[in-house]
Amino acid sequence: MDYGESTPIFHFADNLDRAKLLTVFVVHGVALVLLFLMSRFQPESTLGRVRLIANKGILWIMLAVLLAALIAIANILVGRSSGVTTVLMFNAGVVTLYVIEFAILLSRGFFKRLLGDELPSEILLFVCFVLMVNAGYFTLMFLKDIILSTRIGI
């Protein structure tokens, strides 16, 4: 399958399609769980203000799994109607949202504690954003390789 093809995908629901969807689900699920976990430790963050995420129970894990399942379903719908390129662009948009929120959370949390008050907050946010753009790029390339794969295995 060529990257430039607009051939619809996820039509056959064979083992390859199920493996691709499971991988997309796991990648988005892990990213959402990490994002929600980080925001639970920063109640002043945007996601930390959401009551479902901030509660003491495990409801936030179920929310992350539900959102990852909705993203996987959206991948199926987009793949069947529009094709590979649109699925890749959809995943790029979702990964971009993760990158932005991770950069904000890291600049206010981990890197602020690591570097203290030595750097202005704008430079700290820029450093975190550059790091997370690299992480997002490699995540997107991993998803691209999975979505464009033609067989299961190495």
Its pTM stands at: 0.82
pLDDT (0 to 100) of residue 38 = 86
Q: Please state, rounded to an integer, the average pLDDT across all residues of the chain.
A: 83
Domain assignments of the chain as residue spans, ordered by start: 15-147
List Cβ<8 Å contacts ≥24 apart for 14-22.
Answer: 15/152, 16/149, 16/150, 16/151, 16/152, 19/152, 20/146, 20/147, 20/149, 21/72, 21/75, 21/76
pLDDT-based confidence at residue 11 (cuts at 50, 70, 90): low
pLDDT-based confidence at residue 127 (cuts at 50, 70, 90): confident
Mean pLDDT of 129-153: 87
Cα-Cα end-to-end distance for the chain:
16
pLDDT-based confidence at residue 5 (cuts at 50, 70, 90): low
